[in-house]
Amino acid sequence: MKITIFGSGYVGLVTGACFAEVGNDVLCVDIDEEKISRLKQGEIPIYEPGLEDMAVDNAREGRLRFTSDPAEGVAFGLFQFIAVGTPPDEDGSADLRHVLSVAKTIGSNMEDYRIIVDKSTVPVGTADLVSEQVKSAMEERGVSIDYDVVSNPEFLKEGDAISDFMKPERIIVGVDNPRTKELLRNLYAPFNRSHERFIAMDVRSAELTKYAANAMLATKISFMNEIANIAERVGADVEAVRHGIGSDSRIGFSFIYPGVGYGGSCFPKDVQALEKTAVKYGYDARILQAVEAVNHDQKVSLVDKMKGHFGNELKGKTIALWGLAFKPNTDDMREAPSRRVIEELWAAGASVRAYDPVAMDEARRIYGERADLKLVETSEDALKGADALAVVTEWRVFRSPDFEVIKQELSSPVIFDGRNIYNPDLMEQLGITYYSIGRIPRGEGLSQQP
Ligand code: UDX
């Protein structure tokens, strides 16, 4: 099959590489010429395990190509995937400018039947807007050519995107035309082999499915963070509670890890956008608002603990920070809890020595080098001259560090663990003062308040 993908960002590149991998001819389009010229040379602008090899191999075989010419894209594929960004507007609604601009490009250039597939996460009703945009662009040219608009939300997790695409748990397709439904079923057949994962429904339900899935997961996390905050106050251990409730199969163990809040390009944006959609349709989505509010506060819970420990005086203190990416296995720092932690520390007059296994360039791009932020080359270097260690992202390499080095380097041995990756008993044995999330603090010089 011939497939065009508009938008060579995270979703577009993964989708393009995976469709090419199973033998399709894929053309990726982006208006950013520099990005396209780098892609043509085999340079993948994002960090995603396995993506570069897959893209390079398929490009070499001629199945994956790149262009900055949108008209070439429209002429190429029967399937026209829209995988451009939908950044939040000032009020948190999804900004559809890029999506609608691609729709206009398609309407202005198409000469034959096209299946336009919304892959970007777009509010309910967007497929209708896309359709209107295509139609009016054709009317301007005085032509009328048949087309369909389909919703096909992606469920890729950063760091696992290739396997999520190649072995999906479900393929959601919102489609009104039965013939188009069959074409999409065929397109996805290589990824739908062991049992039926193709779920077709009406377009609006597919659009809502994506938001409902992300909002449900974000809710689980905020709920668990709230339980952690209660656990701290009543003297309980949230890790025991997590174990206890997760073993109820109706609840399950996934996405109930307490921490410093969820980040990334999806949960924060999608929870807000769904809430705005509800408002637009006259519904006050109170659970979504609470999910968002709990997450907002949770991102600074570690800094609150530091303030408690240091007698509300962080001025002049240096904090070693491990983990900048919003989660492990990505260099993405969008809405990362680390950013709130760093910014709150600055506001309190502290400075930061930060290390992340892959997000250093991204941190440099966002903040640059400054007197109150040293971006260092190793996790041990981050500890030098610091007053405490804060663990913000649970990268594997942070799980079993040399605690003796931590004790030697810090001015006094204290760890603020935002991901509960260390054993409190061990910390106590080692003589490290240890604060974590939803567990009773251990060690010397503890603050009185949680
Ligand atoms: C998410 C969805 O999982 C994916 O299906 C959707 O397509 C896009 O959004 P992603 O943003 O890549 O994917 O990250 P995910 O692994 O879901 O983690 C999101 C955030 O939640 C991270 O900040 C993570 O640290 C946090 N999290 C996750 C928790 O705090 N606790 C948990 O138990 C799980």
> What pLDDT does residue 92 have?
83
> What pLDDT does residue 93 have?
87
Q: How many residues comprise the chain?
A: 450
Beta bridge partners of 242: none
pLDDT higher than 60, residue 416:
yes
119 known ligand binder: no
220 known ligand binder: no
Complete DSSP assignment for 93-147: -B--HHHHHHHHHHHHH--S-EEEEE-S---TTHHHHHHHHHHHHHHHHT----E
**C-alpha angle 211/217/218, rounded to 5°?**
85
Task: Give the C-alpha separation, 154 to 165, whole Å.
Answer: 8
Global ipTM: 0.94
Task: Give the C-alpha separation, 232 to 278, whole Å.
Answer: 34
- Predicted confidence band of residue 448 (pLDDT cuts 50, 70, 90): low
Tokens of 445: 């010089």
pLDDT higher than 90, residue 90:
no
211-294 architecture in CATH? Orthogonal Bundle (1.10)
Beta bridge partners of 174: 151, 201
- Among protein residues, the one with the nearest Cα to ligand 1's atom 13 is 157
145 Cα: distance to centroid of ligand 1 (angstroms): 41
Return the domain boundaries, the chain: 2-201, 211-294, 299-435
Alpha helical stretches, state H, 333-441: 337-347, 360-367, 379-383, 403-409, 424-430
Cβ atoms of residues 321 and 249 within 8 Å: no
What is the overall mean pLDDT for the chain? 96
**Closest CA relative to residue 432, chosen from 407, 411, 408:** 407
- Among protein residues, the one with the nearest Cα to ligand 1's atom 6 is 155
Task: Give the C-alpha separation, 338 to 222, whole Å.
Answer: 17
Please name the helix (run of DSSP H) or strand (run of DSSP E) that holds residue 162, with its range, or none.
helix 161-166
The distance from CA 394 to its chain's CA centroid, rounded to whole angstroms, is: 15
208 known ligand binder: no
The distance from CA 22 to its chain's CA centroid, rounded to whole angstroms, is: 26
**Closest CA relative to residue 333, chosen from 308, 361, 305:** 361
Q: Which atom of ligand 1 is nearest to the CA of 261?
A: 30
Q: What is the CATH number of domain 299-435?
A: 3.40.50.720
Beta bridge partners of 266: none
- In the residue annotation, 28 being an active-site residue is answered as no
- Please choose from 51, 122, 155, 157 the residue to mutate so as to test ligand 1's pocket, defined by most ligand atoms within 8 A of CB: 157
Do 2-201 and 299-435 show the same overall fold?
A: yes
Cβ atoms of residues 120 and 7 within 8 Å: yes
> What pLDDT does residue 88 have?
86
265 Cα: distance to centroid of ligand 1 (angstroms): 9
How large is the average pLDDT for residues 421-439? 97
> What pLDDT does residue 340 have?
98
| pLDDT higher at 153 or 47 | 153
> What pLDDT does residue 17 have?
98
pLDDT (tens digit per residue) in 9-53: 999 999 999 999 999 999 999 999 999 999 999 999 988 999 999
Residues 6+ apart with CB under 8 A from 181: 173, 175, 200
Burial class (CB in 10 A: 0-12, 13-18, 19+), 368: exposed
Supply φ then ψ for residue 338, to 5 degrees: -55, -35
* The one catalytic residue among 103, 266, 306, 406: 266
> What pLDDT does residue 450 have?
47
Distances in whole angstroms, Cα of residue 46 to Cα of each of 13, 145, 197: 9, 37, 28
* Radius of gyration from C-alpha coordinates of the chain: 24
**Closest CA relative to residue 344, chosen from 261, 411, 409:** 261
pLDDT (tens digit per residue) in 185-230: 999 999 998 889 999 999 999 999 999 999 999 999 999 999 999 9
pTM, full prediction: 0.93
262 Cα: distance to centroid of ligand 1 (angstroms): 7
155 known ligand binder: yes
pLDDT (tens digit per residue) in 300-330: 999 999 999 999 999 999 999 999 999 999 9
2-201 architecture in CATH? 3-Layer(aba) Sandwich (3.40)
Please report, in angstroms and rounded to a whole number, the separation of the first and last CA atoms in the chain: 59
pLDDT (tens digit per residue) in 277-302: 999 999 999 999 999 999 999 999 99
The bridge status of strand 25-29 relative to strand 64-67 is parallel
8-state DSSP, 252: -
Tokens of 439: 């567990």
> What pLDDT does residue 89 have?
87
The finding on whether 157 has its CB within 6 A of some atom of ligand 1 is yes
Alpha helical stretches, state H, 155-300: 161-166, 178-188, 203-234, 238-246, 267-280, 286-298
pLDDT (tens digit per residue) in 118-151: 999 899 999 999 999 999 999 999 999 999 999 9
Distances in whole angstroms, Cα of residue 450 to Cα of each of 202, 230, 296, 383: 49, 10, 18, 25
